[in-house]
Amino acid sequence: MDNNGFVKDTPWQTNGDSGLHEECGVFGMYDFDGGDVASTIYYGLFALQHRGQESCGIAVSETNGPKGKVTSYKGMGLVNEVFTQDNLEPMHGDIGVGHVRYSTAGASTRENAQPLVLNYVKGTLALAHNGNLINAMELRKDLEYTGAIFQTTIDSEVIAYHIARERLNSNSVEEAVGRACQKIKGAFALVVMSPRKLVGARDPYGFKPLCIGKRDNAYILASETCALDTIGAEYVRDVLPGEIVTITPEVGIQSDLSLALPKEARCIFEYIYFARPDSHIDGVSVYASRIKAGRFLAMDSPVDADLVVGVPESGNAAALGYSLQSGIPYGTAFVKNGYVGRTFIKPKQSSRESSVRVKLNVLKEAVDGKRIIMIDDSIVRGTTSDRIVKMLRDAGATEVHVRISSPPFLWPCYFGTDIPEREQLIAYNRSIEDIRKIIGADSLGYLGVERLEEMVGGLSICKGCFTGTYPMEPPKEDIRGDFER
């Protein structure tokens, strides 16, 4: 997905670029009939590719084979670049986990690709994690001072170590996962494979999504329901915030809600941008949420114009909502090149200058001589919005009115969304009029913060990046070292 209100059209770039980035996608499967799961995990990851394009991996095991034998393969790049028939076919196993990654913590290297596979006294663990911990550095130092040697720079390895340690004094792997989850703070959706069990865990606030699916006699854990649809599985339910689920042939789905809290705080950006529009998260349609956001913009920031257009992809549904509410026709102004490979754009300013036109082109016939309302999902630094507005003007648009289907970013995110320090945010210490002038629009309107809960049907959400009020005390220093509070 590439909504260019900031350079999200290049989600493989480093933290130095101007884009908001996805976190990661996780997928797990256990076939009780003993069938191989690797190829299905591949297609599940393919459906979650939008959540991270930096690296990916799959780890599988045979529950009836030699205990502790895990076959894994991972690499840098897209799912269809990393995996081929040659490396998928030898991956035999009826239980497995997969991961697609964008680095919100830890460098972009093959060593940091997931799933992580650990061999320890009790056997093996394979773990895939989506999210960001706020106490990872502290936990890592504690482990290092007791002799732990880390192979990666990601907080997911801290989680894996703690699960392995807790397993030594626990009766089961799910008990060990539960004990480890009591120590970690922040956002996490985990899928853990042990020799005989598939375990899923979601942080007590429910920052990151995780759902359960079923296909024939196999159970699936996935970041989004679109992955279930892709593999022909039926949606069973969401893993609840603070819930640990254990999947085995003997019990099916076993639930532990001992971590649950009365307060929940889902990441609102799953609904605004991250998730695919055909996904449902905690019972709420992502597509319907974006339509609502567009309707609210039309109600709260109306403007007279000839055509409403969206910046692909996540601006499109909100643009349709604006059109439906306002009665102004909805149209297509941008043609997106879907074949630009991930290696095309390098993380340098000189490359970014051309990235917008390479990825998007304007349909002159659609906008020439017209007053345009352009809907985008957000603006972070604003370094791309001005270019898109200029592209519309160069194509003959007489007016360009920009509407954003989220509130202005005023604070960084500590929980897995790559929102930088305040000084780099265009809305920091600037009025909406200031921003309008910078991006060159005729008018600019944002979604009101008060509309966010309404947009997702009353679900409890995290609005920290808009309000500075976080569901838990943020760290003084982020694990990425990108900013300090």
Active-site residues, by number, are 24
Contact assessment for residue 31 and residue 38, using Cβ atoms and an 8 Å cutoff: no
Q: Which two tokens stand for residue 294?
A: 């567009």
**DSSP state, 329?**
P
Query: What does the angle CA 413 – CA 359 – CA 2 come to, to the nearest 5 degrees?
Result: 25
User: DSSP state, 473?
Assistant: P
- As to burial, measured by CB atoms within 10 angstroms (0-12 exposed, 13-18 middle, 19+ buried), residue 236 is middle
The backbone torsions φ and ψ at residue 237, rounded to the nearest 5 degrees and listed phi first, read -175, 170
Contact yes or no for 384/4 (Cβ under 8 A): yes
Task: Look at residues 81, 88, 83 and name the one whose alpha carbon lies nearest to residue 60.
Answer: 88
CA of 371: how far to CAs of 204, 366, 443, in Å? 46, 11, 11
Q: How far is CA 161 from the centre of its chain?
A: 24
Helix H or strand E encompassing 125? strand 123-130
How far apart (Å, rounded) are the C-alpha atoms in residues 246 and 337? 42
Q: How far apart are CA 452 and CA 455, in angstroms?
A: 5
Question: And the tokens for 420?
Answer: 């930088």
Helix, strand, coil percent content, the chain, rounded in steps of 5? 30, 25, 45
Q: Is 37 in contact with 31 (CB distance < 8 Å)?
A: yes
Phi and psi, residue 461, nearest 5°: -130, 165
- Give the CA dihedral 29, 122, 117, 145, nearest 10 degrees: 140
Please state the three-class secondary structure of 365-413 as a single string.
HHHCCCEEEEEECCCCCCCCHHHHHHHHHHCCCCEEEEEECCCCCCCCC
